[in-house]
Structure 1
């Protein structure tokens, strides 16, 4: 994660300007936008880190408030690697929860705020993200948000985990991001896991990415259906399996995969 930040708030606000200045002094690349879908949509490439400065309470009966907040919520929901931090008092923060899910809020800084402490916390967040770059990268694709968060919680100590909640979001993510393994839900609405797998394997840039399927079905017919796919997927993981079993399967896969690559390099020398 680079040090790009999307700072949301009134462009005429003195405090928003002061926060921007402090972030720039701390070598953050600050992108400014009003808290509206029109303003945010003007940004070609959104940062992963969002900071929203609240200066009033939001009204659930106000059409503009609802539209803008639900748009922001969708940006975080559709790319679970994005982080949203809020700056405001308790009532202001509470007022937007009718449109922004609490699970999509990474943290809250209460006003009055110490801007220097804000930059320190954000730098720590960035440092943790940057350290993850040294780890193997795993993309988890599942339409169940609880399952996504469970897998992330299980794997993030050892691996860098990215999450998407649909097959099309997986394809979009892979168009601009490299991963070492995909954990793919077999049963998803709109586009099935099998169809997503076919799309991944049909594209030159993604065809060689290993894929393990996640499924809740353990009957022989379902297992054979998954394993009959061409090319054969790396594994078939049950969602009911324990954390230890899932991690063991992934660890063994990477150990074997890395050994095969090392052997090929040694033979070529």
Structure 2
């Protein structure tokens, strides 16, 4: 008997959360659908069956608990049982038993620990599906790579560690494994370490000044920015001390600050001596030079072949209608490749097109669904657009499959050729826009973090950095970016005030904004979500996580626009 693939429904009003969860699931063989509200969850569950549901607790209009209760009526009518996992913030950890008593199968704490997610999948997904033993073992290995860097020992990290100079490996108070895991490569880690080292004198003086003047607001912000850099390079103890002082300033515990700040500053300044060889070491200079050369090669590389006007036409049989559609697209200067709906043919041509149209023409329901699932997974993995055309009964079969979640448009016979071609012209423009190198504005009063973020993102995006709100507004007067990544906590003008100004300006109100924050506690995150940004990112995110989140953001934007 052929194993079926598991499907998980992700319910969360935050795009970034949906992206991260779906990416973790999809990369390991578990399909998912994503919705942003309780009502959409109910609609999806009436139409389709799921093996597992990941349900955000805090959502507008209908929260996770209300949605869960309404789901029980749907499941009762269908005579099925589906485990629902509550996906919520750290404060719910002490209430796990209450959630379970309410009927939830389990609780996932944000930000999701990959090991915890793995355990949930192992526990609640059906054993007979394609997430079989060997797949689960592969999933474990992949998840472990994402777990806290103190547990990482995979070959890739070891290979990067071997590139570091011997003297650096003997420096106390720095977890090199954590630093490499956060930055991904030895070259990027050295860059981050150098930025950290170069700012020790100026930043320690800044913190000292705020401490002496008892300017606790600025003291908190300065310590907050140091905390992020300390975590990034693997200076765990320094990071923990910074966290404690930041919390003390926030809670008005000034006695603790007066007692602990001098020792903290002394410990921070000591890193200047510990890392003093970083400016003279030839191995480090070689790593930095290699990184610069790699960046230049990436910038000089030939642009990829334009696939935005290439269409893969997957059909069961040729006929008058599919032939007419093919000729119409060809006349509109699209390059159309026609292939039979056979898996090996589809896989062969997957890298050569960005738009796929499927024209089923068979009474074999299982074959249509198999083809649909393959096409949908391919389109999700490679950011392609998928359309379905054909007879009403064939389209109904296709749209009842698991692959329906990736369909941008359906065309039922008789097909309006002019509208059909106009849609494909629109898709081509969307794809050209998607493949264009995006412009990012990053706003953060922490100049060290700006430098690191610029290094991480500049090979994939056009990046402009601003350390205050006024400079950002001046930048917006000349350039409209594709995305603003905005620090939430800043002096003079915080992220929320800036966002209000941007959203109230008719020239800039459409620019998506993602909040950048160093905290993930309940009150802080809820406060951010109340402002309705397009997402939020943690400053503690590793390089790979940050790049993946941004890629998923633009992928979801492409797909959403294709359905409009």
Q: Structure 2-normalised TM-score? A: 0.25
Q: Structure 1-normalised TM-score? A: 0.48
Bigger share in helix: 2
